[in-house]
């Protein structure tokens, strides 16, 4: 019987999906009958009363808003958008009987009047970058209402674009899918999906932003619509890629590159830059559902220290709370959280606590009783009062159903309530509640279950009549579900910033909507301890990076099920370079800390964790680039080599910044693998062996070794080996990898790693240039930018060469040969090392 039900369910789902794919029956927007021209926008009036507004925000950024059969609304609000004050770019308008053309310095937008078709072209070459396949559409006849989450909440809207024969698609945030999304079809509806595998869709997050790439030129489309949305990149048609949503406006932003990096920078400008988290967030993190009591947490930390394994952060999962009541501590398990945290901080370890949105439903007053849902009469005032519930209820901050009843989902505490985070006062209140953690020495907050997950029903149906304040619009769950986590993270981030203005907030989230990078970092939820799940790490991290979320990571070793030493090691060989490196495990699965599978595996894991700390100056410099420019740290090769078609669907290797290429092993019992190296010179990180790029090479990859290559032309800034951030003075060593012309360059970014002062110029950026032509080697260190002054220290330059120098000059003065690793020059292991005092001034080093 149950098999039959499953079959019926599957057939129904297939039917629903099939219908979801078919947008061809939708009503098309009418032809243009007239238009008006404003300072930065053109409004098209259509024969059917529809309106389309094109707004020129920047030479490479045009917004398209369409309203079907009625004028574009004067209300214009999005939780994702960070910037609305754009300096209008120069643009011109020309007309012909058939077309209206808007031209900025970079994009030519040609609007065909009848039928209404928009195409975007390169303003210089006039080549079409992206063009409508048919006019924008709306579901006037209710063709798709049967598949909609809440037909009453909106009408399906869609836009279809011509599919290029060789067009590749990237982005869409967190998808359990490969890098190139061509021929894929995706849904956005934040969903709690434990144990997801490749193809599961949707999962936790909604980032309706994608990139198209054809013939080396890229564009981006951000469909800013929080309703359940659909993206189809040629899955069901050879002609078109389309996107649509179950309500709201047809509202998208068109970005023209042609470089992906430029698009990501504009996207960051539009939806917000990731602020820098504290530097220790790049340290190694350990978690477990659940470490308790406090002595267990202390034991884990002392194991790390005794075993000489680096650790900066330990996480407390839901068991630290008193009966899963957020903003409380369990008096038996954690009787003195402040003292525990102080002890851990002395060992260089910070604590992060999980905070779920479910507030235990615990009425104790007459008011509360009255407000209680009659479904739950048994929940009387049998326990002592819970201040969070009491306050939220009194202030009316919790979500209600349409009929005015309190919405009572079930989460970890059983019956619970959710805060309406669209209310500004509720966000402020929620943020201030974090005093319960900060006052006890907690260093960061982990937001989970914020899809929001409801054990009554994970599809959202139980929440369908929940109403949110939404700036007075009192809108439906259909509109607000996908922004719930964004707003919870915002409340958390703003609360932490208010409570501790001299510290950078550090928030981690599971669910999200576009713009999340302004408030939170993320991890990819409940993965499996399997090789397939590990292989998904790379396309998922790189895709998130291409979707505006640079600070990403996955539970190292996988969350669900039992792994083994080999899987754990290979997993660290991916994550030791991910921004978020945290080993985390389910409550009922086999232990997974680095030592759990024996010394052989532990020793290899130690090697990679130590290397992560050595590479921190490089990682932090690249993270700051992500903060400033929106270009992520953990990159697919296509981001750095978008003219190289060999990179277009390459997702079993990745790059950190521009300079480090890593090709992990993603299958068991494999000790060799093929690696694609793009054009140029490459150095094997371990052996210094040189490779000529533009080819696939076969390299050794025993369990001890993840194949890693450094780009010729780069200088890697390294720091000291440490067991936690701040353990030692960060003395930089610059390792030089010259290109074919003998040149190399880099820059090093540093700041205090803790405070927001970097936003006031309190940082140091030092540029370095190396040139080694014939026998004349020169290194120039520029005068640093910014006002940050590191502690007194030396800086070393490491150049691989068999030659012994005749003489070394620093600013024209002879540098002596060094004794015992002191200042001066020395030779070691085929390398020339020059150590100088880092006095924050420009220098020139010459070697003859
Ligand atoms: C969810 C989280 C997981 C956490 C668990 C208990 O499954 O994704 O990381 O350990 O809840 O809080």
Give Cβ neighbours of residue 772 (< 8 Å, ≥ 6 apart): 736, 738, 742, 743, 778, 799
Question: How far, in Å, CA of 328 to CA of 322, rounded?
Answer: 6
Q: How far is the CA of 356 from the centre of ligand 1 (A)?
A: 10
Q: How many CA atoms lie within 13 A of 456 on its CB side?
A: 16
Helices 424-433, 387-395: inter-axial angle, 10-degree rounding = 170
Give yes or no: 448 in active site: yes
Q: How far is the CA of 559 from the centre of ligand 1 (A)?
A: 9
Answer yes or no: is the C-beta of 525 below 6 A from any ligand 1 atom: yes
Answer yes or no: is the C-beta of 192 below 6 A from any ligand 1 atom: no
Residue 21: per-residue pLDDT: 62
Which atom of ligand 1 approaches the CA of 449 most closely? 1
Share of the chain above pLDDT 90, in %: 91
Question: How far, in Å, CA of 757 to CA of 501, rounded?
Answer: 10
- Which of 190, 204, 354, 556 to mutate to test ligand 1, by most ligand atoms within 8 A of the CB atom? 354
Q: How far is the CA of 572 from the centre of ligand 1 (A)?
A: 20
Q: If you take atom 7 of ligand 1, which residue's CA is the nearest one?
A: 526
Helices 531-545, 565-575: inter-axial angle, 10-degree rounding = 10
Residue 368 has pLDDT above 50, yes or no: no
Residue 12: per-residue pLDDT: 47
Residue 236 and residue 22 in contact, taking contact as beta carbons nearer than 8 Å: yes
Give yes or no: 87 in active site: no
Which atom of ligand 1 approaches the CA of 586 most closely? 10
How many CB atoms are closer than 10 A to CB 267?
A: 24
User: Structure pTM?
Assistant: 0.95
Give Cβ neighbours of residue 811 (< 8 Å, ≥ 6 apart): 843, 844
Question: How far, in Å, CA of 478 to CA of 247, rounded?
Answer: 8
Give yes or no: 451 in active site: yes
Residue 147: per-residue pLDDT: 86
Residue 141 has pLDDT above 70, yes or no: yes
Question: Average of pLDDT values for 214-235?
Answer: 97
Predicted confidence band at 384 (pLDDT cuts at 50, 70, 90)?
Answer: low
| Among 451, 555, 566, 653, the one annotated catalytic | 451
Residue 718 and residue 733 in contact, taking contact as beta carbons nearer than 8 Å: yes
Cis status, amide bond into 343, omega within 30 of 0: no
Identify the residue with better confidence: 804 or 232: 232
Q: How far is the CA of 555 from the centre of ligand 1 (A)?
A: 11
Predicted confidence band at 801 (pLDDT cuts at 50, 70, 90)?
Answer: confident
Share of the chain above pLDDT 70, in %: 95
Q: Which helix (DSSP H) or strand (DSSP E) does residue 467 occupy?
A: strand 466-468
Answer yes or no: is the C-beta of 318 below 6 A from any ligand 1 atom: yes
The CA distances from residue 700 to 87, 319, 664, 665, 684, in Å, are 53, 44, 11, 10, 11
pLDDT tens per residue, range 459-506: 999 999 999 999 999 999 999 999 999 999 999 999 999 999 999 999
Identify the residue with better confidence: 373 or 838: 838
Q: How far is the CA of 535 from the centre of ligand 1 (A)?
A: 21
Q: What is the pLDDT of the chain when averaged over all its residues?
A: 94
Which atom of ligand 1 approaches the CA of 555 most closely? 9
Which atom of ligand 1 approaches the CA of 510 most closely? 8
Answer yes or no: is the C-beta of 317 below 6 A from any ligand 1 atom: yes
Answer yes or no: is the C-beta of 577 below 6 A from any ligand 1 atom: no
Predicted confidence band at 622 (pLDDT cuts at 50, 70, 90)?
Answer: very high
Q: How far is the CA of 655 from the centre of ligand 1 (A)?
A: 29
- Which of 317, 357, 458, 582 to mutate to test ligand 1, by most ligand atoms within 8 A of the CB atom? 317
Strands 714-718 and 359-360: unpaired
Answer yes or no: is the C-beta of 750 below 6 A from any ligand 1 atom: no
696: which 2 tokens?
């696939």
Residue 382: per-residue pLDDT: 37
Answer yes or no: is the C-beta of 772 below 6 A from any ligand 1 atom: no
Residue 411: per-residue pLDDT: 98
Residue 375: per-residue pLDDT: 42
pLDDT tens per residue, range 565-618: 999 999 999 999 999 999 999 999 999 999 999 999 999 999 999 999 999 999
Q: How far is the CA of 3 from the centre of ligand 1 (A)?
A: 30
Question: How far, in Å, CA of 211 to CA of 517, rounded?
Answer: 18
pLDDT tens per residue, range 736-752: 999 999 999 999 999 99
Question: How far, in Å, CA of 380 to CA of 77, rounded?
Answer: 41
- DSSP assignment, residue 27? E
Q: Which helix (DSSP H) or strand (DSSP E) does residue 799 occupy?
A: strand 794-800
Q: If you take atom 10 of ligand 1, which residue's CA is the nearest one?
A: 289
| Among 167, 224, 526, 651, the one annotated catalytic | 526
Q: If you take atom 3 of ligand 1, which residue's CA is the nearest one?
A: 526
Q: How far is the CA of 779 from the centre of ligand 1 (A)?
A: 50
| Among 317, 448, 555, 593, the one annotated catalytic | 448
Question: How far, in Å, CA of 803 to CA of 775, rounded?
Answer: 10
pLDDT tens per residue, range 266-323: 999 999 999 999 999 999 999 999 999 999 999 999 999 999 999 999 999 999 999 9
Looking at the DSSP assignment, which residues form a beta bridge with residue 65? 53, 251
Question: How far, in Å, CA of 451 to CA of 199, rounded?
Answer: 19
């Amino acid at each position: 019987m149950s098999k039959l039900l499953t079959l019926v369910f599957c057939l129904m789902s297939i039917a629903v999906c099939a219908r979801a794919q078919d947008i061809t029956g939708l009503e098309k927007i009418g032809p243009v009958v007239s238009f008006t021209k404003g300072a930065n926008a053109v409004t098209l009036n259509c024969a059917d009363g529809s309106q389309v507004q094109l707004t020129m925000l920047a030479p490479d950024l045009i917004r398209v808003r369409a309203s079907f059969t009625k004028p574009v609304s004067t209300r214009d609000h999005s939780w994702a958008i960070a910037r609305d004050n754009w300096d209008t770019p120069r643009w011109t308008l020309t007309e012909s009987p058939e077309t209206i053309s808007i031209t900025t310095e970079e994009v030519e937008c040609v609007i065909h009047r009848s039928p209404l078709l928009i195409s975007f072209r390169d303003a210089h070459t006039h080549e079409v970058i992206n063009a409508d396949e048919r006019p924008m559409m709306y579901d006037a006849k209710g063709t798709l209402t049967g598949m909609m989450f809440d037909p009453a909440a909106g009408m399906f809207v869609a836009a279809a674009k011509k599919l290029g024969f060789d067009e590749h698609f990237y982005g869409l945030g967190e998808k359990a899918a490969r890098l190139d999304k061509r021929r894929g079809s995706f849904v956005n509806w934040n969903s709690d999906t434990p144990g997801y595998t490749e193809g599961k869709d949707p999962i936790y997050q909604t980032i309706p932003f994608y990139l198209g790439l054809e013939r080396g030129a890229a564009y981006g489309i951000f469909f800013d619509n929080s309703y359940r949305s659909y993206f189809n990149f040629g899955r069901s048609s050879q002609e078109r890629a389309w996107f649509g949503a179950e309500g709201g406006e047809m509202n998208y932003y068109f970005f023209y590159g042609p470089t992906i990096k430029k698009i990501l920078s504009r996207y960051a400008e539009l939806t917000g830059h990731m602020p820098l988290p504290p530097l220790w967030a790049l340290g190694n993190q350990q978690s477990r559902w659940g470490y308790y009591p406090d002595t267990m947490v202390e034991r884990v930390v002392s194991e790390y220290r005794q075993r000489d394994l680096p650790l900066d952060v330990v996480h407390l999962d839901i068991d630290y709370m008193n009966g899963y009541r957020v903003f409380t501590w369990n008096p038996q398990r954690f009787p003195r959280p402040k003292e525990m945290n102080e002890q851990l901080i002395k060992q260089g370890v910070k604590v992060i606590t999980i905070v779920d949105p479910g507030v235990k439903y615990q009425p104790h007053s007459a008011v509360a009783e009255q407000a209680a849902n009659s479904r739950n009469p048994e929940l009387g005032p049998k326990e002592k009062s819970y201040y969070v519930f009491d306050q939220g209820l009194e202030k009316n901050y919790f979500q209600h159903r349409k009929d005015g009843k309190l919405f009572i989902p079930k989460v970890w505490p059983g019956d619970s309530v959710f805060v309406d985070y669209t209310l500004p006062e509720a966000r402020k209140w929620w943020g201030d509640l974090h005093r319960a953690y900060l006052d006890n020495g907690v260093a960061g907050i982990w937001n989970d279950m914020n899809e929001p997950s409801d054990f009554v029903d994970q599809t959202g149906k139980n929440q369908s009549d929940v109403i949110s304040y939404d700036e007075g619009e009192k809108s439906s769950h259909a509109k607000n579900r996908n922004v719930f986590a964004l707003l919870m993270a915002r409340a958390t981030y703003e609360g932490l910033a208010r409570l501790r203005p001299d510290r950078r907030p550090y928030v981690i989230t599971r669910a999200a909507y576009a713009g999340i990078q302004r408030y939170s970092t993320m991890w990819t939820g409940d993965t499996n301890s399997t090789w397939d799940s590990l292989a998904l790490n790379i396309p998922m991290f790189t895709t998130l990076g291409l979707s505006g979320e640079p600070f990403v990571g996955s539970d190292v070793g996988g969350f669900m099920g039992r792994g083994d030493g080999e899987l754990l090691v290979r997993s660290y060989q991916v994550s030791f370079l991910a921004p978020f490196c945290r080993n985390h495990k389910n409550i009922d699965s086999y232990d997974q800390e680095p030592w759990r599978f024996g010394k052989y595996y532990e020793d290899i894991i130690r090697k990679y964790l130590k290397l992560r700390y050595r590479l921190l100056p490089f990682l932090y410099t690249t993270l700051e680039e992500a903060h400033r420019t929106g270009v992520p740290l953990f990159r697919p090769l296509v981001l750095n080599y978008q003219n190289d078609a060999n990179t277009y669907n390459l997702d079993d290797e990745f790059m950190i910044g521009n300079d480090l290429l890593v090709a992990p092993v993603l299958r068991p019992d494999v000790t060799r693998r093929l690696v694609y190296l793009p054009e140029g010179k490459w150095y094997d990180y371990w052996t210094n062996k040189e490779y000529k790029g533009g080819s696939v090479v076969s390299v050794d990859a025993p369990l001890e070794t993840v194949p890693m290559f450094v780009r010729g032309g780069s200088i890697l800034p390294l720091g000291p080996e440490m067991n936690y951030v701040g353990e030692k003075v960060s003395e930089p060593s610059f390792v030089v990898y010259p290109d074919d012309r003998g040149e190399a360059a880099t820059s090093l970014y540093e700041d205090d790693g803790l405070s927001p002062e970097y936003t006031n110029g309190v940082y140091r950026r030092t540029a370095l240039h190396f040139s080694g032509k014939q026998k004349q080697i020169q290194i120039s260190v520029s005068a640093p930018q910014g006002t940050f002054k590191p502690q007194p220290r030396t800086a070393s330059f490491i150049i691989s060469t068999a030659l012994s120098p005749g003489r070394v000059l620093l600013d024209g003065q002879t540098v002596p040969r060094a004794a015992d690793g002191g200042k001066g020059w020395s030779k070691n292991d085929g390398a020339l090392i020059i150590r100088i005092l880092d006095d924050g001034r420009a220098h020139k080093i010459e070697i003859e």
